[in-house]
Amino acid sequence: MQKTVLVVGAGPAGLAAAAGVAASGAQAVLVDKAAKLGGTPILSGYAKLVPSGEWARDAMGRMVKRVEESKNVTIHKETKVTKLAGEAGKFTATLSNGTSVECASVILATGFTHFDSINKPEWGFGTYEDVVTTTQVEQMVAAGKIACPSDGRVPERVAILLCVGSRDRQIGREWCSKICCTVSTNLAMEIKELSPTTDVFIYYMDIRTFGLYEDRFYWKSQEEFKTKFVKARIAEVTRAPDGRLLVKGEDTLVKRPIVIPMDLVVHAIGMDPNEDNPEIARVFGVGLEKHGFIDRAEHYTNTCGTTRRGIYAVGAALAPETIDDSISQGTAAALRAVADLDALVQKSA
Amino acid sequence: MAIHEKSLIDAERIQTSDNLVLDGVDVSGHWNTMVLPRYLTDYDTDFARQIRTFSGGENVHRCWQCGSCTNSCTVYAQNTDFNPRYWIYLTNLGLKNEILKDKDIIWTCVSCNRCTNICPKDVKPEGVMKALAHWLEEEGHTPESKSTIFDNEFLDQVYATGRIEDTRVLVNFLRKTNQSLMPPWLIEIGKRMTKYFPLTFLIHMGLHLVFKPRTKSWGRTGDVLRAYVHEQKEIARKARAMPKEAVHV
């Protein structure tokens, strides 16, 4: 009987899962397709994480260090799982680097893909240089300068458009990406810290800063940093003759159309199912739910279970998820996977 | 008549001229009516800050538009055009022209403070109504209000004598606001008072009207108070006029 758990993906969820398995005394094999561990927060160059306010490189750095220093974790970078044979308790995984891994269970921590704003062409991304995504603003904040890409000027006004690639039947994305509201209110504060004279406007349908994010992010951004919240779903972003951007829409509360000049327009992009999910579903033999995320088994007694026995999924592989909850799920799945190992060991004894 | 449904358009957006030449083409006559676009083209990003410098307006930026204020409003129950939530939103975005459309009703707030008591974000909407009314007055959008005239009469007496004389405040107020010195309600008060025949009160009132008594040792107190109030108002006025860069959060 194997005492090994295969963990796929080395973002917050996968790193937590691998560390959990290792801490229990079992062996974890951690596989990631990227050359660098840390997942999206590292690969996309996030600045300070919500809600801790810690720099992504420090927070993820500690998680990476923990698994790298563990003697119970074997790491394969720039590697994919190409084949999974067998069944719960005795899987054989073939890796793209030729290695073969015998494992009892698998944890899929394969994360998400950022929505590609090109798919909402009316909002100007890809047409105008000064239309950017939250990921790009994260990178600006991490670099310590907020500027318009077109000419490097510090923007007098920034418009953040919420729900870009979320809650939109037109593009087949009917889910809320859960964290963009909080991230956006946080970015508004970070922009203001870098450039106190910049006015930040958040165009919203509703504000979903759930739980303690309510006052720590939404209220703080509004009350201390004077972020302006405008209830309008923008219809179109165009450019004025002077080169500034124009956001057009209907202000729901004033009941009038608006055409407002802005210097920088930021898309608060949502979380899509990982673009590799069809491949992942095929290789691991797990089902996808209707949006394309990995499907869950009955949750109450089979936490993190997928539609295939012995394979678990955690974090943003299952649905849009926060970093904190992804980490918790990674740890929960580690416990499930290790408990399975023990049960199988007892059964075979 | 090029426009058939003028009732659907705000009157101030309809422009008519007898002689009109556009790009060198004479369009007088049949095509003499033009309609300005109804979309909003900009925010005054400094406006909310200016309103915050008026007493009562300090928390206006906290509003999240739940509508509790309007829902609880005594005046809204009588006149649905009186909508504090809406004006707070316009203030925060700096949609000044939209606020000006309602300049003649904002002052009708009766300060019952139900809005301030119910507000989940502690915006103090009643204070915002006052701040807006004061801004409208200071900018000359509305004439000096009766309450301002009353306040000034009241304060002038305090500065001068350290006390107020009810009769004098009332008479001067009625005079300055061009009202009858004997309004029916005052006559009614007088009639009812005679029932009790308040002799000492009437003697006092008469003497005070003639002799204008001052508070003991009032001295220069009035001048100091006047200077202080003036100074505070100047500080607030200067803060409003400051360039945005100098005062930003």
Chain segment A76-126, per-residue pLDDT in tens: 999 999 999 999 989 999 999 999 999 999 999 999 999 999 999 999 999
The stretches in chain B having pLDDT less than 50 are 1, 249
- Give percent helix, percent strand, percent coil of chain B, each to the nearest 5: 55, 5, 40
Q: What is the pLDDT of residue B4?
A: 67
Residue A207's pLDDT band, with cuts at 50, 70 and 90, is very high
Q: Which strand (E) or helix (H) includes residue A38?
A: none
B214 and B139 within one domain: no
- ipTM of this complex: 0.91
Residue A181's pLDDT band, with cuts at 50, 70 and 90, is very high
B215 and B164 within one domain: yes
Which of B39, B62, B92 minimises the CB distance to A257? Answer: B39
Q: What is the pLDDT of residue A346?
A: 63
Q: What is the pLDDT of residue B1?
A: 45
A292 and A233 within one domain: no
> Which residue is listed with tokens 């009109």?
B20
Q: What is the pLDDT of residue B213?
A: 86
Residue B243: inside a domain, yes or no? no
Residues B42, A261: C-beta atoms closer than 8 Å: yes
Q: How many domains does chain B have?
A: 3
* Cα(A253)–Cα(B92) distance, integer angstroms: 12
Q: Is B48 exposed, middle or buried (0-12, 13-18, 19+ CB in 10 A)?
A: buried
CA-atom Rg of chain A in angstroms: 22
B137 and B204 within one domain: no
* Cα(A242)–Cα(A222) distance, integer angstroms: 30
* Cα(A22)–Cα(A74) distance, integer angstroms: 10
pLDDT digits (tens, 9 = 90+) for B116-164: 999 999 999 999 999 999 999 999 999 998 889 999 999 999 999 999 9
* pLDDT at position A329 over 60: yes
pLDDT digits (tens, 9 = 90+) for A282-304: 999 999 999 999 999 998 988 99
B29 and B56 within one domain: no
Residue B181: inside a domain, yes or no? yes
Residues B61, A231: C-beta atoms closer than 8 Å: no
Check the CA dihedral B184-B186-B188-B190 and report its sign.
negative
Instruction: State the average pLDDT over residues A315-322.
Output: 98
Distance, first Cα to last Cα, chain B: 52
A131 and A191 within one domain: yes
Which of A196, A219, A256 minimises the CB distance to B248? Answer: A196
What is the full DSSP assignment across A222-287?
HHTS--EEEE--EEEEEE-TTS-EEEEEEETTTTEEEEEEESEEEEEE-EEEPTTHHHHHHHHT--
A24-33, A318-327, B181-190: which range is least confident on average? B181-190
Residue where one domain finishes, among candidates A270, A293, A314: A270
B209 and B150 within one domain: yes
Strand bridging mode A157-164 / A199-204? parallel
A124 and A265 within one domain: yes
Q: Identify the domain containing residue B85 by its residue range.
A: 47-143
Provide the β-strand partners of residue B16: B33
Which of B61, B86, B245 minimises the CB distance to A226? Answer: B61
Q: Which of A191, A8, A179 is nearest to A91 (CA)?
A: A8
Structure tokens at B179: 């009202």
* Cα(B88)–Cα(B48) distance, integer angstroms: 9
A142 and A97 within one domain: no
B110 and B61 within one domain: yes
B133 and B60 within one domain: yes
The fraction of chain A above a pLDDT of 90, given in percent, is 94
Q: Is B36 left (phi over 0), alpha (psi -120 to 50) or beta?
A: beta
> Which residue is listed with tokens 């508004």?
A188
Instruction: State the average pLDDT over residues A55-84.
Output: 98
Q: Measuring CA to CA, how many Å separate A258 from each of A231, A236, A267, B14, B73?
A: 11, 11, 18, 19, 29
B158 and B134 within one domain: no
- Residues in A closer than 8 angstroms to B40, CB to CB, are 251, 254, 256-260
**By the CB < 8 Å criterion, does B8 face chain A?**
no
Residues B89, A254: C-beta atoms closer than 8 Å: yes
- Measured at the CA of B33, the angle between CA B27 and CA B34, to 5 degrees, comes to 100
* pLDDT at position A36 over 90: yes
Yes or no: say if A120 and A126 are a contact pair by the CB < 8 Å rule.
no
Provide CB contacts within 8 A for B167, sequence distance 6+. B205, B208, B209
CB contacts < 8 Å between A and B, how many?
A: 58
Residue B232: inside a domain, yes or no? no
**By the CB < 8 Å criterion, does B45 face chain A?**
yes
Q: How does the average pLDDT of chain A come out, rounded?
A: 96
A302 and A244 within one domain: no
B86 and B163 within one domain: no
Q: What is the pLDDT of residue B29?
A: 75
Residues of A with CB under 8 A from a CB of B: 157, 192, 196-197, 199, 201, 207, 219, 222-226, 228-231, 251, 253-254, 256-261
What number of CA atoms fall less than 13 Å from residue A170's CA on the CB side? Answer: 9
Provide the 8-state DSSP code for B60. G
A294 and A255 within one domain: no
Residue B239: inside a domain, yes or no? no
CATH number at A26 reads 3.50.50.60
Residue where one domain finishes, among candidates A270, A293, A318: A270
Q: Identify the domain containing residue A31 by its residue range.
A: 4-111+274-348
Residues B38, A257: C-beta atoms closer than 8 Å: yes
Provide the 8-state DSSP code for A168. B
Residue B28: inside a domain, yes or no? yes
Q: Max Cα separation, chain A?
A: 78
Residue where one domain finishes, among candidates A270, A303, A325: A270
Yes or no: say if A140 and A146 are a contact pair by the CB < 8 Å rule.
yes
- Give percent helix, percent strand, percent coil of chain A, each to the nearest 5: 30, 30, 40
Q: How many domains does chain A have?
A: 2
pLDDT digits (tens, 9 = 90+) for A216-259: 999 999 999 999 999 999 999 999 999 999 999 999 999 999 99
* Cα(A215)–Cα(A220) distance, integer angstroms: 6
Taking the mean position of all CA atoms in its chain, how far away is CA B45? 22
What is the full DSSP assignment across B89-101?
HHHHHT-HHHHHT
Distance, first Cα to last Cα, chain A: 10
Q: Which strand (E) or helix (H) includes residue A299?
A: none
Q: Which of A105, A142, A165 is nearest to A334 (CA)?
A: A105
Structure tokens at A148: 């318009």
B158 and B139 within one domain: no
B16 and B78 within one domain: no
A146-150, A173-177, B158-162, B203-207: which range is least confident on average? B203-207
* pLDDT at position A268 over 80: yes
Strands (E), chain A: 4-8, 27-31, 73-76, 81-87, 90-95, 100-103, 105-108, 112-114, 131-133, 157-164, 199-204, 228-231, 234-239, 245-251, 256-262, 264-269, 271-273, 311-313
* Cα(A217)–Cα(A278) distance, integer angstroms: 36
- Residues in A closer than 8 angstroms to B248, CB to CB, are 196-197
- The SS3 of residue A70 is coil
A140 and A90 within one domain: no
A156 and A72 within one domain: no
Q: What is the pLDDT of residue B244?
A: 65
Q: What is the pLDDT of residue B249?
A: 46
- The residue in chain B having the minimum alpha-carbon distance to the alpha carbon of residue A255 is B39
* Cα(B189)–Cα(B121) distance, integer angstroms: 43
Residue B203: inside a domain, yes or no? yes
Interface-testing mutation among A156, A258, A263, with chain B (most B C-beta atoms within 10 A): A258
B174 and B158 within one domain: yes
Q: What is the pLDDT of residue B77?
A: 96
